[in-house]
Structure 1
Amino acid sequence: MRRRSSSSNASRRSSTVRRRSENLRFDEFGFAVTKRKDRKLHHRCHEYSYPQLGSVRVKELCELLSYWNGASFICRSQIERFIRMGVPPSLRGQVWKCLLGIDSLRETSDFNYQNCLSEVRGPLVDLGVSEYGILSAIATLSETQNDLGLNQQQQQSSSCPEPRYSVDDITLFRQIALDLQRSFPTHRSLMGESPEAIEGQAKLFRVLIAYAKYSPQESVGVLSVHFVTPWFLTLFSSLPCWDSVLAVWDLIILHGLSAVFRTALTIIELLEPRLMELSDEAAVLPLLLRVPVDV
C-alpha cells in the first residue's frame, strides 16, 4: 500500500512539473522566463542588449562570408570587426562554420566523433553508467571512484590488468554528471522530466565526456582535472546573460585559448571592487562562480 502511495505521489509530482513547464514562457535563447523576484535565484537575465547591425552591415557580413578565406589576414581582420560590432544570431552559425573551417576539416580530418564516443561509453556501460539516468550515474561513479582509490596501490603492486579508466577519469566524469544537475536548470531542452529534457541531458553528457577524454591537453602531460573549472570547462556558459556568452564564444572561436584567459581576466577585473571588499575567503568563490547580472 505504501509503495503504491509513493508511486502515485511521484506520478503526481511529475505531472505537476510537466504542467508548470507547459505554462512557462521562454526567451529567444530557450530559457524559461521566470518572475522578476525569482531571477536572482535562477541566476538568469532575460534582458538582452546585444548590438543590432543595420541592413547595410548585415549585407557586408554576408558578402564576407560568401568569399571567406580563413588563411587571409584581411578576412580575419574584417570578421573581428563584425564580431566586435555584434554578430546577428541568424548569422552566428555561418560565422562559426567559417572560423572553424568546418568544410575543410570534414575533408581532411580523420577524427570520428562516433568512434570516440563508443570508446568512452563502452567502459561506462560496463560500469552500469547511462547518460539517460544522471542521478544513478552520479551514484555509480562515486562508488567506482571510491573503489579505485582504495584499490589503486594494490593494483599497482599486483599483476592485475589496469582498469580501462583511471581515478582521474572517473573523478572528471562524476564532476560532469554533477554539473549537469546544476547547468541550465531553466533551459527548455534540459529542464523537467520530459523526453526532450532527458535526451538533452544525455547529449550534453556525451559531448562533455568525449571532450574531456580526448582533450588535446592530455598529450602534453596536463591532466584535465587540473584545469576543469566552471569557467573553463563550459567556456563561460555559466554567465547569467546568454548574449554575453555567445559574444565570448565568438572571440574564443576567432582567437582560441588566449581569448579564454582574456575573458577570465576581464571578469576578475570587473569584479575587483567587490572582491576587494570581501574579507571572508568563503564569500569570494560564490561571487566568482555566480557572476552578478549587473557586472
Structure 2
Amino acid sequence: TPVHFPTPNNQARKMVIYGIPTTLRPRVWQFFAEEAKIRQSGFYEDLLNRERIPIFDVIERDIPRCYPDHQLFCDNQSEGQRQLFDILKAYAHYNPEVGYCQGMGRLVGVFLMQHMSAEDSFWLLAATIRQYLPQYYVPTLTQVRIDSAVFEKLLQEHNRKLANHFAVNDITPLMYVTSWFMTLFTMTLPWASVLRVWDWFYLKGTKILFRIGLAILDCISDHLLTECPTNSEILQYLLHIPKDKLAPEHLFAAANRVRIKTHHIDRLSRQVTLHGVPARGELSTSESRSPQKSSKRRVFQRVFSP
C-alpha cells in the first residue's frame, strides 16, 4: 500500500527530528529517495536471470566482509549473504556504468537489516545512487574526489588548527572520507548514530555527509592534536575511531554546532570542478575490479577493511 507523506519541509522533517518509528523507516527512506519513480514491476527478477559477468567474482569475495559480525551475514550459506549477492549482481546489470564498487554492500546490508525484502532493497539502492550519489561508485570515484576536496576547504574554514595539523602530516580527506561517505558512515559510527544520520541524509541529501564529517572531527579533534603526531597515527585513528567517542549525544551535539549552507557547498563544488578534481591518486575502483594486488588496490582494501 502506498504511503503518502507530507512534503519534506514540514511534518516529515519533524518525523526525522523526533525519531522515525522503526517499522516506518524503510518506507520513509523510499519516499524521500523517490524510489517509486524508477521501480518497474518484474524487472528485478529479469535482472537476476541474466548471464554471469566477471564482476560477480569480485562481489562474491567482498560479501563476507560487509558485516562479518552480524547474524544475518556472518555465515557464507546465510540467507543474508545470498540476498546481498542477488541485489548487487542485479545492480551490476541494471547500471553497467557503475557495475559494482566496494561500499555498496554496506548500504544494501542496512536495508536488509531494516527487514526490507531483496527487491525493495534493490530499488532503494538504485534510487539512493540515482538521487543522492550518482557519481560516487563509478570507476573514477568522480564525486567522491570532488566532495573530498570540498570537505578539505570546509575543514579549513571550520577548524583551521586541525586542518593545519593534517596538512603538516600529509593527511588529505580522500584518505578517510572515502570510507565515511561511500558507506554512509556505517564503518565509523555506532549503530545508534547510523540510523539517525541516515534519516537526516534521506531528508536533506549529501549536505549531511559534510556536516556529520565535520562533527566527527570535532568530537576527536583534541585527541588528534595531542595524541596523534604522525601521519600513520592520525590515519589509523581516523579509520578506527572508538565508538564511544561518537555516541549519539556527542555526535549530534557537535553536528548542531556545524553550520553549512547548501549554496556554499555548491559554490565550492563548482570551484573544485573548475580547477580540476584531485588526481586519481591512490584510490580507484578500477583496481578493486582487478584481482591483482597493486599498491592502489592495497590502499582501497585498507580503507574498506573492517
Give the TM-score of the pair, scaled to structure 1: 0.48
Higher RCO, 1 vs 2 (CA within 8 Å, ≥6 residues apart): 1
Q: Which has the larger radius of gyration?
A: 1
When you count helix as a share of all residues, which structure comes out higher? 1
